[in-house]
Amino acid sequence: MKSDPRSVKRLQKKKDILESKIAERIKRRKEKLNSLLKRKQRKGPHRQDSLPIFGQSNTQFLPSEVSENSEREKINKMQEKIRDLEQQLNAEQQEIERLNEENRLIKEIVEIKEIEELKIKDLNMQKSQLLRNIDDIKKEVGKSLENMVDLFLKSQEIISREKRENDQFAKEHLEILKNYLLQKLTPEQVKELTRLQNQITKLEKQLTNFQKQRAKFEEQIEVPLSRK
């Protein structure tokens, strides 16, 4: 799953539109209901304006009763519509809460990725500087021994990565390479080469761990988001 700040903005915009739309609909319905109630109150109690005609069914409504029933029916319908809107509002509110949670999660993902990218960038910069330092030392040995320096550094990398510092064969192998390098370099420079290579090995290990953690994190958050 690819997440970026634009996804966060789209979710926030959708949430704002839902809230505004529902609030406006509820407001209009309640204003209309209040208007009907005020009209009914202004009319006051209804009087019997006319008597039924002789022989006419007693069940027939008088004009005032018809008007009152009509107003009451309008009010009941309006109240029913408001109840429907309130139910819809509850459903929309649940959707907004879901969007908020997804919005929060995406923000966290973006922040974590930004931190990881900065850390990886910093480690790569450190590694580049160490390699430049090694190149400076290699220039002093000349082209005739450059391959020997590379072999020494590669051997040092393997020994450090596999933790074979106490291996007798590894020690003897490094000692032979050091003797070749001492033809052009000082003991301090050879020691510095060893230190630089060990630092590079540590940085590469950190970079690998960061990449593994990032891949695992993205795998964990991809499934929950896809279900929403």
Domain chopping of the chain, boundaries: 5-45+65-227
Cα–Cα distance between 111 and 221 in angstroms, integer? 14
Least confident segment among 26-30, 115-119, 179-183: 26-30
Q: Which whole number is the average pLDDT over 90-106?
A: 82
Cα–Cα distance between 75 and 190 in angstroms, integer? 94
Least confident segment among 24-28, 113-117, 174-178: 24-28
Tell me: pLDDT of 53 over 50: no
pTM metric for this prediction: 0.51
Q: Which whole number is the average pLDDT over 152-181?
A: 84
* 77-89 residue pLDDT tens: 878 888 888 888 8
Whether the CB-CB separation of 200 and 157 falls below 8 Å is answered with yes
Tell me: pLDDT of 207 over 80: yes
Q: What six digits make up the tokens of 32? A: 């209309």
What's the pLDDT at 188? 92
Q: How far apart are the first and last CA of the chain?
A: 13
